[in-house]
């Protein structure tokens, strides 16, 4: 039974540990993508609100109440937040499903993993050690990691809590203060988490939330001179603009951007498992994920049978109310995203691709932004449908003859976030994975992640990494401390012809 949650009629900003009315006096509507009905309204933050949130974060950071807190105590607070989140997961699952349109079975599977990030980083900071470089002479050199300061986190609507927590927990674990700008489609759970964090001991000002729109609140936040790092998940063009903003203030930047994942299916793969994996890669989250299996590269010897089986699998996917446990695929996030998907389907047809299944709105779903799982064949690598990110439930089949051709096709895009390899040949699996130009490779699987495993891409898919020690380090800077323990006196300017040590 799905737990229903009563929402407030209006949500304000969360700054310095308090709900704060928006300076603009403007509010925007949040809608249920499965029905098009209004869910609630949320504050539309502007420049003054961003400045207030950043100042709150800066004051918290400089006070040392969090940034200089002992790591053991900091870890305990993170652990308490994670434990509280785990106790209240049903509420978060319901709200994520309601606002994103993703089936509640998907959201339950995803959100139940989230407390692991608190466990991981609480453990990491308890055990993370500095270094002792081999400094020559009578000197001791040791290094320590110190927090950057104030972090701007900008999150999307497709995995609101997952993507937030991948960034947030690492940033807080390192001792930073944060200002989060969530997507205007899915801001409610971010506001709820900020309140929980405060209740469980996170100091005021360490976690602030400014809701609003990217061109205003997002741009003001990323341009703010007091920001020390920007961490964004979004589109590639947005990422390029944000990286430019960060550069103007010499702020660090991490961007997890677009993708057009190739998934390679060799002739020796387990065909049933491969087709199941292809359907999962292509249609999970209604295709609205940066690692969607949008390019299925299939060996010619199994191409026709693979296509037939994938169509049968797509036909079996149950579309419906995301809050029903029987539903397997929900709507797209908005009318705009639905129209974009329809446009790309028409582009594919115009380019000469053959529609195997889908390509229309389902007649049985008269309301909401639903679209059938859609499969194309006769796709060439130069087609727009094979190169541009749709962010919808659309995938295309591309045949290949040789391993070398598969690798060349897989790498022949501007993106490089994630790819997959399906084969039972262990040598081939590793050899091919080594040649793929991307940040993540799955072998005989797709879309798996862990708080310890680095996540991020190359080329137009972004810079920087989420998760793991790599992410933690990137939320800090290294301080090198050099101690002179030489017992001999030293005077650089004494009257002597001796050549002294300078460096």
Predicted TM-score (pTM) of this structure: 0.96
Per-residue model confidence (pLDDT) at position 492: 86
For residues 209-228, give the mean pLDDT: 97
For residues 108-120, give the mean pLDDT: 98
Per-residue model confidence (pLDDT) at position 252: 97
> Is pLDDT of 1 > 50?
no
For residues 263-284, give the mean pLDDT: 98
Give the DSSP letter string of 295-326: EEEEETTTHHHHHHHHHHHHHH--B--TTSTT
For residues 274-298, give the mean pLDDT: 98
- Given pLDDT bands bounded at 50, 70 and 90, which one contains residue 3? low
Helices (H) and strands (E) in the chain, counts: 16, 22
The CA R_g of the chain, rounded to the nearest whole Å, is 25
Helical H runs in 135-184?
A: 160-173
Measure the CA–CA gap between 187 and 28, rounded to whole angstroms. Answer: 11
Query: What is the percent of the chain where pLDDT is above 70?
Result: 99
For residues 264-288, give the mean pLDDT: 98
Per-residue model confidence (pLDDT) at position 23: 96
Residues identified as active-site: 256, 290
Structure confidence by residue, pLDDT tens digits, 83-104:
999 999 999 999 999 999 999 9
Q: How far is CA 472 from CA 66, 211, 452, in A?
A: 16, 26, 10
For residues 17-28, give the mean pLDDT: 97
Would you kindly state where each structural domain of the chain is located, as residue ranges? 10-257+461-481, 262-443
For residues 444-469, give the mean pLDDT: 97
Is 229 exposed, middle or buried (CB count within 10 Å of its CB: 0-12, 13-18, 19+)? buried
Q: How far is CA 467 from the centre of its chain?
A: 10
- Half-sphere exposure (CA, 13 Å, Cβ side) for 266? 22
Per-residue model confidence (pLDDT) at position 503: 65
For residues 169-186, give the mean pLDDT: 98
Report the CATH fold assignment for 10-257+461-481: Aldehyde Dehydrogenase; Chain A, domain 1 (3.40.605)
Query: CA triplet 293, 294, 300: central angle to 5 degrees?
Result: 90
Query: 295 - beta bridge partners?
Result: 262, 396
- Given pLDDT bands bounded at 50, 70 and 90, which one contains residue 489? confident
Contact 365, 320 (CB under 8 A): yes
Is the torsion defined by CA of 246, 250, 252, 256 positive or negative? positive
pLDDT, the chain, mean:
96
CATH assignment of 262-443, among 3.40.309.10, 1.10.3720.10, 3.40.50.300, 2.40.50.140: 3.40.309.10
Judged by DSSP in three states, 416 sits in strand
Q: How far is CA 32 from CA 36, 40, 101, 186, 311, in A?
A: 5, 9, 7, 10, 29
Between strands 458-459 and 177-181, the pairing is unpaired
Structure confidence by residue, pLDDT tens digits, 64-74:
999 999 999 99
For residues 16-26, give the mean pLDDT: 96
Structure tokens at 205: 């000002």
Judged by DSSP in three states, 354 sits in strand
For residues 302-321, give the mean pLDDT: 98
For residues 313-330, give the mean pLDDT: 97
């Amino acid at each position: 039974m799905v737990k229903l949650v009563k929402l407030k009629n209006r949500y304000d900003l969360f700054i310095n540990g308090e709900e704060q009315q928006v300076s603009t006096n403007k509010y925007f509507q949040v809608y249920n993508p499965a029905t098009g009905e209004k869910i609630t309204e949320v504050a539309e933050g502007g420049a003054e609100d961003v400045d207030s949130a950043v100042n709150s974060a800066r004051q918290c950071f400089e006070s040392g109440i969090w940034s200089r807190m002992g790591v053991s105590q900091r870890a305990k607070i993170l652990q308490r937040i994670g434990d509280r989140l785990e106790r209240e997961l049903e509420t978060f699952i319901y709200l994520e499903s309601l606002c994103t349109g993703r089936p509640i079975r998907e959201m339950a599977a995803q959100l139940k993993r989230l407390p692991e990030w608190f466990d991981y980083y609480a453990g990491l900071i308890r055990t993370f050690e500095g270094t002792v470089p081999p400094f020559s002479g009578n000197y001791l050199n040791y290094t320590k990691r110190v927090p950057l300061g104030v972090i701007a986190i900008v999150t999307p609507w497709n995995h609101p809590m997952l993507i937030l927590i991948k960034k947030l927990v690492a940033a807080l674990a390192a001792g930073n203060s944060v200002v989060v700008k969530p997507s205007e489609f899915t801001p409610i759970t971010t506001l709820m988490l900020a309140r929980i964090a405060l209740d469980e001991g996170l100091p005021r000002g360490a976690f602030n939330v400014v809701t609003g729109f990217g061109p205003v609140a997002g741009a003001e936040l990323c341009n703010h001179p007091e920001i020390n790092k920007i961490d964004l998940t979004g589109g590639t063009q947005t990422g390029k603009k944000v990286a430019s903003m960060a550069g103007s203030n010499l702020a660090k930047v991490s961007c997890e951007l677009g993708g057009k994942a190739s998934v390679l299916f060799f002739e020796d793969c387990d065909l049933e498992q491969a087709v199941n994996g292809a359907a999962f890669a292509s249609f999970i989250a209604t295709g609205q994920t940066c690692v969607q299996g949008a390019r299925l590269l299939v060996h010619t010897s199994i191409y026709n049978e693979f296509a037939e089986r994938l169509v049968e699998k797509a036909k079996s996917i149950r579309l419906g109310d995301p809050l029903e446990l029987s539903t397997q695929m929900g709507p797209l996030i908005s009318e705009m995203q639905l129209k974009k998907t329809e446009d790309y389907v028409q582009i594919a047809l115009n380019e000469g691709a053959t529609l195997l299944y889908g390509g229309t709105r389902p007649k049985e779903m008269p309301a909401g932004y639903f679209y059938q799982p859609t499969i194309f064949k006769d796709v060439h690598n130069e087609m727009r449908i094979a190169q541009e990110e749709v962010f919808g439930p659309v995938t295309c089949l591309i045949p290949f003859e040789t391993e070398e051709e598969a690798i060349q096709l897989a790498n022949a895009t501007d993106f490089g976030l994630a790819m997959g390899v399906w084969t039972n040949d262990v040598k081939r699996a590793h050899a091919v994975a080594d040649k793929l130009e991307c940040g993540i490779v799955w072998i005989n699987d797709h879309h798996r992640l862990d708080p310890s495993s680095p996540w991020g891409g190359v080329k137009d898919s972004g810079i920087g990494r989420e998760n793991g020690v790599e992410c933690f380090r990137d939320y800090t800077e290294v301080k090198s401390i050099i101690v002179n323990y030489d017992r001999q006196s030293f005077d650089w300017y004494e009257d002597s012809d001796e050549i002294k040590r300078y460096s």
